[in-house]
Structure 1
Amino acid sequence: MRISHLFILLAASAMLTACDFLDEYNPNSVTVGNYYTSEEDIVASLNGVYTSLTQSYVADNYHYFTDVRANATVVTNSGANSGIPYQFYNYTLTEENVYVYNRYSQLYKIISRANTLFAHLGDVSYATPSARDTYEAEARFLRALSYYWLVTEWGDVPLVLKVLESTEEVRANNYRRPKAEIYQAIFDDLKYVTESPLLDVQPASACGSTCRAMLRPAPGQEPQG
C-alpha cells in the first residue's frame, strides 16, 4: 500500500474517532432530563408519587407495623411465609425480615419521586400562577407522611431532601440522622402546605388528593388553652 493511501486511511480513522455520531443514542428515549416539558408532565410525575402509596408494603401490609405490633390484632398462622409475619406479633424481628426491608425501601421510593418532582418544577410553565405551588404542596405532604412513618417506626433514619445525582452523593447521605432533624423536616414540609394555595377540601373530581383539611386536628383534639 502506498504511503499516501495509508495517510488517507489514518486521517479518515481520526475523523471518525473525533466524531460522536457513531455513539449509540436513541433520540426517542425518555430520561429524567428531557421528560419535563409541560405542566401535564408535572401532573404525571405527581401522580407517580401518589401511586407509590399503593405499593404493597406501604398499603397492604401496613397493619403489621401498627396493629400487630401494638397487639391490637393477632397473627394466627405462625408459619405463614416462613414465620415472617409472626415475627411482628411475638417481637422477634430479624435482619432477614423482607417485610421490614421492603417497607423501608418503598417509603424511600415515595421520597425519591417527590424529590425528583421538586427538582423539575421550574422547568415548565403553568396555566395559573398558583398551580406550581399547589403541586409542590401535595408532594411535600406525601414526603412528610413518608418521613413520619419512617421516624415513628425506625427512629433515626437518613434524611434526603433533594435528588442525589451520583453514587458519591448517595454514600454521603446514607447515614442516620437524629429524630429531631427528621421531625423538623416534616414540620417544614407541612408548614409549606399550610401556607400554600392548596385547597382546604378537594372537589369530588380530585378525590384522593391531599388537602389542607388533612392537617387539622380531629374534633375534640384541638389544643387547649
Structure 2
Amino acid sequence: GTSGVVWVRTRGLNQMGEPVLDYVRWVMVRKRAPDAPAPDTVVPDLDPVVDPAGLAVPKGLDFSDYDFELAGEPHRLGDYHPGERIDHVDGVTIEEAEHMLATRLWQNTAKVHFDATFRNDGRRLIYGGHVISMARALSFNGLANAQMIVALNGGAHANPCFAGDTIRAWSEVLDKAETRAPGVGAIRLRLVATKGDSAAFALKGADGKYLPEVLLDLDYWALMPV
C-alpha cells in the first residue's frame, strides 16, 4: 500500500528529430501519502510482441558473407527451433563493488545500489540493468551469432539480486522470422537469469509466480545470419 505501478512511454530522437527508440515500461513509484486511496487502474492496450515485419534492420547490414570461423560458433538461424532451450552453462558471481561503476555509467543513482546502510539487512542491491548485461554476456555461450538486439517484447526483474549471488542463464527460442536484409534473419529469444541451477530450466511455480531463484525474464528479438 506504500507504492504503485506507473506506465510510461519513452521516445528517443536523433539529431534530426527522427524517432529511433519508442517503448513502454512500468515503474514502481512510492506514494506521496501512504494512506491516500489508490487511483483507478488504467493499463494501456499494447501488442504482446513486436511484429518482426516492423523490425528496424540497420541500413546496409549484410550477413551473406558472415565468417562463422571468426565468430567462434557455427550455428545460424536454421540451427535453432522454437521450443528449444539452451543452457549457457557458465556463472558470474557478483562482488560487492564491481557493479557500482557500471551502475553509475548507466546513470542510476539509487542509494540502495551503493550505500549498504540504506537497507536494514546491510546488503547492497544489484541494479537490474547489471543483471541484464551479465545474462546477455553469458548467453553468447550457445548464441554467439545472435547479433544486435532490435526489439524488446517484454520482461521482468522477477526477484532481487545481491552482492555474492552467482548469476547463471538459459534461453528459450520462441520464434524465427526473415528480414529483407541479405543473409539476415531474426530470432525471438527468452533470456532467463537465475541464481540457481540454470540447467533446471525452471521459471514459475504452480501458483504462477516466479520461483525465488529467478532474477530476470526477458523477451527480445535479435538478428542472426541465416
Q: Same fold (TM over 0.5)?
A: no
Greater strand content: 2
Higher relative contact order (CA 8 A, sep 6+): 2
Provide the TM-score with structure 2 as the length reference: 0.25
Provide the TM-score with structure 1 as the length reference: 0.25
Greater helix content: 1
